[in-house]
Structure 1
């Protein structure tokens, strides 16, 4: 009898620890939602632009990751749809000083960019500032 109760207790602990581990390794988002990705064509031209945009997006609510591919000028943002929208993220790109798809950059933010990051400076021989 003692062996049976010990076996039951061990089985209970094993099942409890597995369910706790499963909950930690696969967190459920509110309403079963997952992350989504959106891409924007930007006016970014160099590695300084990349650092500036990725850092700026990291502060936006709901953003999980942001990556700018400098050669294609495409910014890929992974975000939680219950926290933000593609329109809000596009506006955040504009507020940083860059175009986002068909929307032009905020003029004041654009004017604060270093000269190498401005789209009028189309010849960039050194993208590692």
Structure 2
């Protein structure tokens, strides 16, 4: 009898855990002023350290970063602010000037296009 109660108890508990919703994520695409592979590494690394961001990938061909995030912890506006603080434009949000000026000269907006 104890074994049967034990099995039923854990079956109910396990079934309850199995019904928990997995964390929901959202995706946003943001146009940046990134130029090169160094920009890509910097943006993806720094976004990876930002609260609520699950992952990011910057396409250098079109300069669009695709960000997967937890909407309960962050928002597209906060993500754009984070990109701005890294030193890059993010859609309509201009790059933070102090952060932009601290970028290597080859990564600044006024730099000529170059290959890595």
Task: Check whether TM > 0.5.
Answer: yes
TM-score (norm 2): 0.82
The equivalent residue for 1:45 is 35
- Over the residues paired in the alignment, what is the CA RMSD in angstroms? 2.4
Residue 49 of structure 1 aligns to a residue in which SS? helix
1:16-43: CA deviations, max 9, x gaps?
Answer: 7x748946xx7533xxxx1000111000
Aligned positions of 1:103-118 closer than 5 A: 103-118=93-108
Give the CA deviation at 1:103.
1.6
Give the CA deviation at 1:123.
2.2
Question: Equivalents in 1 of 2:17, 2:112: separation in Å?
Answer: 52
Point out where structure 2 has 5 or more consecutive residues left out of the alignment.
none
Question: Which is greater in Rg?
Answer: 1
Give the CA deviation at 1:102.
1.7
Aligned positions of 1:29-108 closer than 5 A: 29=23, 34-108=24-98
> Where in structure 1 do 4 or more consecutive aligned residues deviate above 6 Å?
none
Q: How many residues align?
A: 116
